[in-house]
Amino acid sequence: MITYNESERIFKLDTPNTSYIFGIDDKFGYLMHYYYGRKLRNAKDNIRYLSRLYDGDVLPEVNTKDKNSFLDFAPFEYSTGGIGDYRSHALEILLENGTTAAELKYLSHRITKGKSVHEGLPGTFAKEGEAENLEVTLTDPEIGLTVELFYAVFADTDCIVRSAKIYNEGQTPIYLTRVMSTTLNLDNKDYNLLTLHGSWARERHKEFRKIGHGYQGVSSRRGESGHQEHPFMAITDRNLTETTGEVYGFNFIYSGNFTAEVSLDQFNLIHAEMGINPYNFKWKLEPGDSFTAPEAVMTYSFNGLGDMTRSFHSLYRNHLIRSPFLHMKRPILINNWEATYFDFDTDKLLAIAKEAASVGIEMLVMDDGWFGNRYDDNRALGDWIVNEEKIKGGLKFLVDEVNKLGLKFGIWMEPEMISPDSDLYRAHPDWAIQIPGRNPGLSRNQLVLDITRPEVWEHTWNSIKTILESANIEYLKWDMNRQLAELYSAGLPADRQGELYHRYVLALYRMQEKLVETFPNLLIENCSGGGARFDPGMLYYSPQIWTSDDTDAIERLSIQEGTAMIYPLSTMGAHVSDCPNHAVGRVTPFKTRGHVALAGTFGYELDITKIPVEERAQIPFQVAQYHKYNDLVREGNYYRLASFSDNGEYDAWMVVSQDGTEALVTYVDVFKHPNVKSRRLLLQGLDASKEYKDAESGKIYGGDTLMYAGYPLPGTWGDFKSTLIHLELC
């Protein structure tokens, strides 16, 4: 619910459990932030005192008296540079005369039912009665600059979604050099900063650090959200747990360069911002033009990290992911990548498909190596023509034969890339992003196509469309295996080269939107060398993303913990792979690999014709488990019970059905120790007044006993052992 107190000139945004309050400064018309936290009953109290702008001599009597001290302390809702605020700014500009000053003041606002939509960008949505929207217009008439701030609140989650749109209503160009989507000012309470870091094959590991003076945060300059740092941050209590403590969470609905940062100033105030990374960003706004910033999500929890997680999950399940597969079981697939790499043909794929069908697997996915002269990863990207020396009889023949076995068929493509050793590059070398006259650096022996150019975009789209229409293809894995570098586009003039990073992401979004429109029944799984583009922006186009190229069950514990802290389990691509694991060489029980993969979309990444007989024999049981539990895993509320990344010994999580009638607990005893007592696991999310039956043992426990005294875990022998505990309401 959004209200405006006319007499106090204060806006109040209420979610089910939180309030966000800001207002218009009476003297100068600046927009000032006052409060974000637990829900307040009303905004009639003198909430302005929280800004402390009225302490002593801080507030100038006139607009010129010690203005810089005032501006450098004021908790601006959307700050600008060049006028005396020396902190980081939400908006920075450059005018043709070389000046950078902008001073935004309130002009108008409107409150509407529903949710605003920004064309060309992924974003949240709402059905009738589910959301309210606030648009506040700020202006600097001296330079013809106008900014619209957008806020949305939802009836079913403690999330607030923010974005901004900038207009040039002047007579000369304005260059945007920094555009944030959300900002927040807070009193410091000895807070920590929580972020997610990693690299290829070890994405999204949690990291806490104390917020000290100066700037801290995470960012990407790679043209994608990235393996290394994630477009998420949280400001947290020093004593945060899953169930206790304050946490302010931020997530960016964008798939390119980002920055998420906090600063602690001389007055012990925290200033937080999230938006497009200003690195190599310079957007030219001609008179009459506008620029829309991507949406950012904020959420506040006073009951620990778990409530933040479930708020994000609720928002993304109900208001971001559009796919018809969202509430459906995804087909259990087997991917041939780790089974064969590039060494396969029609006969090999059909042999895998036949064995897969016999044990209940439902889809065969053909990965890299089916097109052009693609016998290794050094060539042929961009040549999306079936290699009939390998795919004998053609793609349609293969797909038809797989369908006859009762399996669906999926395919891998990497549409954004081009190999220097390809027919496409030999015909159009200028289609690659590279600087003329400079020998380009390669990554994975490939370059990036400049899909911001219309002719390149059209060729790429037609290549995808032709393949998908040529056979009964029901799943597409869309990959991207290198980052952008040495930026230059032959389609942009010199004064617009700073737009290439963002234009690239917009072009990608246009292509994925076209894909969704043209093939509405196609299951899409996005991927970028594993999890380098696992972000809310991509979830708008695909219901699932490949979580990591590392499929080792033990490595996946930390990767999936960090991912599930923000994103629903149904979005995480997770497979059972062969051992020794291809990424780390570890050997883990087949049962444990299955239990860890059940916490995602579930599938197989192995050669089923070669695995040990005893492992193959477990697949029908794992398939049955998937069908038994997937509705619960996909739709249930997620609770983190223990963190192997924190304790170094064991991991545990659970999901509880929305109606509270059943729960599934997954426990992984990673490292076994001698001469220790059994563990008790404190469960969460149950009804303390009800009783639950353990489906395996038949024992009955009170919900309060399970949550406050704990569930007695069974003993295990050896490392890497796992257990599923299925509880049903009596």
Q: Are residues 163 and 223 in the same domain?
A: yes
Are 473 and 480 in contact by the 8 Å Cβ rule? The answer is no
CATH number of domain containing 695: 2.60.40.1180
Are 393 and 370 in contact by the 8 Å Cβ rule? The answer is no
Q: Which domain holds residue 671?
A: 644-729
Number of domains in the chain: 3
* Cβ-proximal residues to 44 (8 Å cutoff; 6+ apart), any chain: 5, 8
Res 706: pLDDT: 98
Q: Is the pLDDT of residue 117 over 70?
A: yes
Are 34 and 47 in contact by the 8 Å Cβ rule? The answer is yes
Q: What is the DSSP string of 467-523?
A: HHHTTT--EEEE---S---S---TTS-GGGGGGHHHHHHHHHHHHHHHHHHH-TT-E
pLDDT digits 0-9 by tens, 474-490: 999 999 999 999 999 99
Output the six-digit token pair for 466. 């032709």
Q: Is the pLDDT of residue 39 over 70?
A: yes
Residue 580 lies in a domain: no
Q: Is the pLDDT of residue 146 over 90?
A: yes
Residue 298 lies in a domain: yes
Residue 29 lies in a domain: yes
Distance in angstroms (rounded) separating the CA atoms of residues 446 and 421: 9
Name the domain boundary from 546, 571, 597.
Answer: 546
Say whether 265 is catalytic: no
Residue 628 lies in a domain: no
Q: Which of 60-69, 116-125, 379-388 has the lowest mean pLDDT?
A: 60-69
Q: Shortest CA distance to 53 belongs to which of 20, 80, 26, 84? A: 26
**Of 14, 535, 549, 550, catalytic:** 549
Strand order in the sheet with 700-702: 637-642, 650-656, 662-669, 721-729, 691-694, 700-702
Distance in angstroms (rounded) separating the CA atoms of residues 552 and 537: 27
pLDDT digits 0-9 by tens, 214-236: 999 999 999 999 999 999 999 99
Q: Is the pLDDT of residue 71 over 90?
A: no
The angle formed by the CA atoms of residues 28, 31 and 34, to the nearest 5 degrees, is 115
Res 396: pLDDT: 98
Say whether 549 is catalytic: yes
Helix (H, G, I), strand (E, B) or coil at 644: helix
pLDDT band with cut points at 50, 70 and 90 for residue 678:
confident
Q: Are residues 535 and 666 in the same domain?
A: no
Q: Are residues 311 and 350 in the same domain?
A: no
Q: Is the pLDDT of residue 49 over 90?
A: no
Res 50: pLDDT: 83
Q: Are residues 66 and 209 in the same domain?
A: yes
H-type alpha helices, 598-652: 613-616, 619-635, 644-647
Q: Is the pLDDT of residue 165 over 80?
A: yes
- Return the HEC string of 268-328: CEEEEEEEECCCCCCEEECCCCEEECCCEEEEEECECHHHHHHHHHHHHHHHCCCCCCCCC
Distance in angstroms (rounded) separating the CA atoms of residues 84 and 66: 10
Q: Are residues 367 and 472 in the same domain?
A: yes
Residue 56 lies in a domain: yes
CATH number of domain containing 145: 2.70.98.60
Residue 315 lies in a domain: yes
Res 714: pLDDT: 83
Q: Are residues 345 and 277 in the same domain?
A: no
Distance in angstroms (rounded) separating the CA atoms of residues 600 and 364: 18
Q: 456-463: long-range contacts at Cβ-Cβ below 8 A with a sequence spacing of 24 or more?
A: 456/428, 456/431, 457/507, 457/510, 457/511, 459/431, 460/415, 460/416, 460/511, 461/511, 461/514, 463/384, 463/415
pTM of the model as a whole: 0.97
Residue 594 lies in a domain: no
> HSE of 706 in the Cβ direction (CA atoms, 13 Å)?
27
What's the rounded mean pLDDT across residues 597-611? 97
Q: Are residues 315 and 340 in the same domain?
A: no
Res 44: pLDDT: 60
The angle formed by the CA atoms of residues 212, 218 and 220, to the nearest 5 degrees, is 155
> HSE of 342 in the Cβ direction (CA atoms, 13 Å)?
13
Res 55: pLDDT: 64
Name the domain boundary from 546, 567, 588.
Answer: 546
Q: Is the pLDDT of residue 46 over 80?
A: no
Q: Are residues 308 and 400 in the same domain?
A: no
Q: Are residues 537 and 651 in the same domain?
A: no
Output the six-digit token pair for 26. 């009476």
Distance in angstroms (rounded) separating the CA atoms of residues 123 and 117: 7
Count the Cβ atoms, other than its own, within 10 Å of residue 87: 19
Q: Which of 61-75, 257-271, 311-325, 479-493 has the lowest mean pLDDT?
A: 61-75
Res 418: pLDDT: 98
pLDDT band with cut points at 50, 70 and 90 for residue 57:
low
Q: Is the pLDDT of residue 493 over 60?
A: yes
Give Cα separations from 616 to 334, 605, 608, 619 (angstroms): 13, 13, 7, 5
What's the rounded mean pLDDT across residues 553-563? 98
Q: Across all residues in the chain, what is the average pLDDT?
A: 96
Q: Is the pLDDT of residue 64 over 80?
A: no
* Cβ-proximal residues to 29 (8 Å cutoff; 6+ apart), any chain: 105, 106
Helix (H, G, I), strand (E, B) or coil at 182: strand
DSSP label of 556? H
Distance in angstroms (rounded) separating the CA atoms of residues 643 and 597: 17
pLDDT band with cut points at 50, 70 and 90 for residue 716:
confident
Q: 621-624: long-range contacts at Cβ-Cβ below 8 A with a sequence spacing of 24 or more?
A: 622/576, 622/594, 622/598, 623/332, 623/359, 623/360, 623/361, 624/360
Angle between helices 395-404 and 346-358 (to 10 degrees): 20
Q: Are residues 368 and 315 in the same domain?
A: no
Q: Is the pLDDT of residue 309 over 90?
A: yes
Q: Look up residue 652 and give its amino acid.
A: A
Q: Is the pLDDT of residue 645 over 60?
A: yes
**Of 479, 535, 607, 669, catalytic:** 479
Residue 153 lies in a domain: yes
Q: Can you say how many angstroms the Cα of residue 443 is from the centroid of all Cα atoms in its chain?
A: 24
Name the domain boundary from 490, 524, 546.
Answer: 546
Q: Are residues 311 and 357 in the same domain?
A: no
Q: Are residues 408 and 529 in the same domain?
A: yes
